[in-house]
Amino acid sequence: MPATRVLVLNSGSSSVKYQLLDMAGPTRLAMGLVERIGEAGARLVHSPTGGERRERQQPIADHEAALRAVEEELAADGMGLDSPELAAVGHRVVHGGQRFSAPTVVDEEVLAEIERLVPVAPLHNPANLTGIRTARSLNPDLPQVAVFDTAFHTTMPEHAARYAIDVETADAHRVRRYGFHGTSHAYVSRRTAELLDRDPADTNIIVLHLGNGASASAVRGGRCVDTSMGLTPLEGLVMGTRSGDVDPAVVFHLSRVAGMSVDDIDTLLNKRSGLLGLCGDNDMREIVRRREEGDERATLAFDVYVHRLKKYIGAYSAVLGRVDAVAFTAGVGENSAPVRQAAVEGLEELGLALDTQLNTVRGDTPRLISPEYARVAVAVVPTDEELEIAAQAYSLVSR
Ligand code: AMP
């Protein structure tokens, strides 16, 4: 029997999400989540496709214990890490620096390089590393493939990747713009070209990945030429709890005037800002509901969010010169008709327009929401990062 299955692991700071996919379909065989790792109330939810959802509440001390519990659930369905159908484990790795521009089979040297990148991704890379090491210990013969969030953005030209700061200092500390959500931007830009029935190599697309984290990218001919996240996922759009772009002097100001430490300001900008900081909610559903009731702070949060989005659509229209499509994706992008409508409103001079009727139709497949006459197609394209990670990992090990 050919090995066509890939287990995708997304190890976050206190959670592990996983999916088992059969690339012969592709079909999803199982998915699940371990959350609150190392905290009270840890639990695992396992959902085999076509089978009964199972939930366990038990102490789960660390990522190693989490993966062992996942392995037990998969093995109970005959789909454990030692099953011969499994071709690889695909790991989401957040930071691949400048070096990793493609999925990579993990060996000691690759692990060491991911480790060297911990200072630029202190929240994410350590969890990703633990995930890889544990999966490897469960089946040392199975290829472990790292798929990097930054990889799609390594094609950015130097003038887009550089901050205008002293070159020696920047290079000594790897300070440059890397970008994130790359797997999603790659997948969605490709699917958008397919939706338009165009060759990706001849299509220019702005992708707006609007989830709890949010980022925009400018994609020319299938290659990223600019993206809104930078050294870390803090730069760019307004997000659920992250500020996105601020004047860096805000940091000095808060340090000098408010006596806040660097760690305090880090927490402020990453965890207590964005939509949450503006109005106390980070869920766009709730914000839209409050705004409809006339709530002023929710309205302000919505307006700040949309204003920033519009600025990036304008900026990336200028970067690309010619735009064929704008694609909305992720939790907010796929589901919030009011955000899409407000973001596109007033951009007719840039060639954008919405069919308000189409915009409100819900669905889980890629679709156009612009009228036929519009010069720039506007699309809703559901992202599928797990499928993209599995596809990239599988293409590497099945050669
Ligand atoms: P993601 O990070 O892609 O899972 O997106 C999560 C975010 O999507 C949540 O925080 C919500 O703000 C948002 N979201 C999910 N469903 C909806 C919806 N129906 N309308 C507006 N926002 C939504």
Q: Which residues of the chain register pLDDT less than 50?
A: none
Strands (E), the chain: 5-11, 16-22, 27-35, 43-48, 54-57, 86-93, 104-105, 144-148, 204-210, 214-220, 223-227, 325-329, 367-368, 377-380
> Which 3 state secondary structure label does DSSP give 16?
strand
Residues 6+ apart with CB under 8 A from 326: 205, 206, 208, 313, 344, 352, 376, 377, 378, 379
pLDDT on residue 13: 79
Q: What is the C-alpha to C-alpha distance for residues 313 and 328, in angstroms, rounded to an integer?
A: 11
Handedness of CA 237, 233, 144, 50 (dihedral sign): negative
Residue 15's alpha-carbon distances to 21, 39, 335, 370, in angstroms, are 20, 10, 24, 38
| Mutate-to-test residue for ligand 1 from 238, 242, 279, 283, highest number of ligand atoms within 8 A of CB | 283
Q: Are 91 and 131 in contact (CB under 8 A)?
A: yes
Residue nearest (by alpha carbon) to ligand 1 atom 8: 331
Provide the percentage of residues in the chain whose pLDDT is more than 70. 100
Q: What is the C-alpha to C-alpha distance for residues 252 and 265, in angstroms, rounded to an integer?
A: 10
Both tokens of residue 187?
Answer: 């997948």
Q: What is the C-alpha to C-alpha distance for residues 269 and 266, in angstroms, rounded to an integer?
A: 5
Architecture of domain 5-148 in this structure: 2-Layer Sandwich (3.30)
Give the residue among 330, 390, 386 at the shortest CA–CA distance from 103.
Answer: 390
**Would residue 324 show up in a list of annotated catalytic residues for this protein?**
no
Q: Are 151 and 96 in contact (CB under 8 A)?
A: yes
The CB-side HSE value for 365 (13 A sphere, CA atoms) comes to 2
Q: Domain-by-domain residue ranges, the chain?
A: 5-148, 197-385
| Of 149, 281, 324, 384, catalytic | 149
Closest ligand 1 atom to residue 288 Cα is 21
181-235: pLDDT as tens digits:
999 999 999 999 999 999 999 999 999 999 999 999 999 999 999 999 999 999 9
- Check whether the bond before 103 is cis (ω within 30° of 0): no
Closest ligand 1 atom to residue 209 Cα is 3
Architecture of domain 197-385 in this structure: 2-Layer Sandwich (3.30)
pLDDT on residue 223: 98
> Hunting for tokens 């798929």 — which residue is that?
147
pLDDT on residue 399: 77
Question: Which stretch of DSSP H or E encloses residue 391?
Answer: helix 385-397
Q: Separation of 331 CA from ligand 1 center, angstroms? A: 4
Q: What is the C-alpha to C-alpha distance for residues 350 and 326, in angstroms, rounded to an integer?
A: 11
pLDDT on residue 337: 98
Q: What is the C-alpha to C-alpha distance for residues 259 and 253, in angstroms, rounded to an integer?
A: 9
> Which 3 state secondary structure label does DSSP give 111?
helix
Ligand 1-lining residues (CB < 6 angstroms): 211-212, 240, 282-285, 330-332, 335-336
Closest ligand 1 atom to residue 283 Cα is 12
pLDDT on residue 293: 98
- Tell me which amino acid residue 241 is: T
Q: Are 220 and 160 in contact (CB under 8 A)?
A: no
DSSP class of residue 350?
Answer: G
